[in-house]
Amino acid sequence: MRGSVHASADGLWFNLRVAPGALTVDSPPDSDALLVQGGQIAWVGRLADAVLPPATPRHDAGGCWLTPGLIDCHTHLVYGGQRANEFALRLAGASYEEVARAGGGIVSSVRATREASEDELLASASARLQSLLAEGVCAIEIKSGYGLSLAHERKQLRVARRLGELHGLTVRTTFLGAHALPPEYAGRSADYVDLVCREMLPALAAEGLVDAVDVFCERIAFSLAETEQVFQAAQALGLPVKLHAEQLSDMGGAALAARYGALSCDHIEHLSAEGIAAMRRSGTVAVLLPGAFYTLRDTQVPPIQALREAGVPMAVSTDHNPGTSPALSLLLMVNMACTLFRLTVPEALAGVTRHAAQALGLQDSHGQLGPGRPANWVLWPVGEVAELAYWLGQRPRPTVVRQGRITQTP
């Protein structure tokens, strides 16, 4: 199986064990082989049934477990600087909200992001992305929200697009202009939200930089009414919405987001029964972010059992950001989702594949493997699938196929 990295993945892949839930429903359940042609999956089935064109290359998967390429569906990967100082302040007893109110928090990353050039941001985000790619991430969502002006939000979103081209992965960009109030708008929240809705979002959407729109709906950020104003602007442009909802308090954000057909509601530690019911009706994904829960030493666990009973799909993501989740391992998030939130291993793995794809509107192409889909998968050299959730601080080095190329071998 060792081959030159970035070689084409075209050919027959055999001797693989398919992880539960990895295949689309139209694929035979006892499959152990895949055929790739032109970077697309052409066939999935039993090796014995494979009908091969002449001179088909053969790739022996060596009995590895096969999962779809992983998907990190909530990140703030592009920013300047870092905030280790706040880690120390919180250890000394300050809360996240206190740090934010004292002028630290998001606004300090805004300063550093504004000072950085586009190329500097690209370099620092690329380095961080490498960790995720090495674990088999094939698609990622990247939010703006550390620029908070048209020019600086544009810079962040352009970096996000360039990361996709540079590294050959699927990037979904999310405009999070309503992340925090920039210092120059202190005390003028309404004016800033007007700017977001009337100038920033329409301009960035027209430039093709926005795949979805998000808001930080929270006491220390934007109100429910302000959130709705941003959602209306998104709706007018035909853009899907998602929401940072009920992370620190129950603002009723999830129910509002559901009314706008949100792709996802994220964090949701304080989600109410009404919020769950609304999300179920609208088919909104619940994105769980155990890295932020852990970093903030939160104790309010999201209502997992109620979400499970309601049949709300649950995704798991890093929420990578310099303040509350400096996490660069999606497998560690899988572990934490199990340990801290009591997800089962199959639930947590669906959370970084199928349900993460749904949180990005990518469910027709990503998150499961089947004929007609791009070749995005991971071959794990482990004895059993549960090892993907089990190891802490070390990861099995997998073979990665991304966008039809073999991008990593063990």
Contact present, 232 and 261 (Cβ < 8 Å): no
Among 319, 330, 343, 356, binds ligand DI6 (CB under 6 A): 319
- Joined tokens for residue 136: 């088999």
Does residue number 179 form part of the binding site for ligand DI6 (CB under 6 A)? yes
Give the whole-angstrom CA distance, residue 340 versus residue 392.
14
Which 3 state secondary structure label does DSSP give 1?
Answer: coil
Give the whole-angstrom CA distance, residue 145 versus residue 161.
15
Does residue number 269 form part of the binding site for Fe ion (CB under 5 A)? no
Among 13, 216, 260, 341, binds ligand DI6 (CB under 6 A): 216
- The footprint of ligand DI6 on residues 230-249 (CB under 6 A) is 244, 247
Choose the binding region for ligand DI6 from 26-34, 223-231, 316-324, 345-353 (rule: CB under 6 A). 316-324
- The footprint of Fe ion on residues 312-351 (CB under 5 A) is 319
In angstroms, give the least distance from the CB of 324 to ligand DI6: 4
Q: Of 240, 244, 203, whose CA–CA distance to 226 is shortest?
A: 244
**Residue in the structure block whose two tokens are 């509350």:** 324
Give the whole-angstrom CA distance, residue 241 versus residue 174.
9
H helix runs in 168-313, sequence order: 189-195, 201-206, 224-236, 253-259, 273-282, 290-295, 304-310
| Closest CB to Fe ion among residues 226, 319 | 319
Does residue number 72 form part of the binding site for Fe ion (CB under 5 A)? no
H helix runs in 80-149, sequence order: 84-91, 96-101, 106-115, 118-134
Among 31, 113, 284, 321, binds ligand DI6 (CB under 6 A): 321
Does residue number 322 form part of the binding site for ligand DI6 (CB under 6 A)? yes
Among 31, 318, 324, 353, binds ligand DI6 (CB under 6 A): 324
Size of site (CB under 6 A) for ligand DI6: 13
| Closest CB to ligand DI6 among residues 211, 319 | 319
Does residue number 174 form part of the binding site for ligand DI6 (CB under 6 A)? no
Q: Which residue is nearest to ligand DI6 (CB)?
A: 323
C-alpha distance from residue 295 to each of 270, 299, 305 (Å): 17, 11, 23
* Footprint on this chain of ligand DI6 (rule: CB under 6 A): 105-106, 109, 179, 216, 244, 247, 292, 319, 321-324
Contact footprint for Fe ion (CB under 5 A): 319
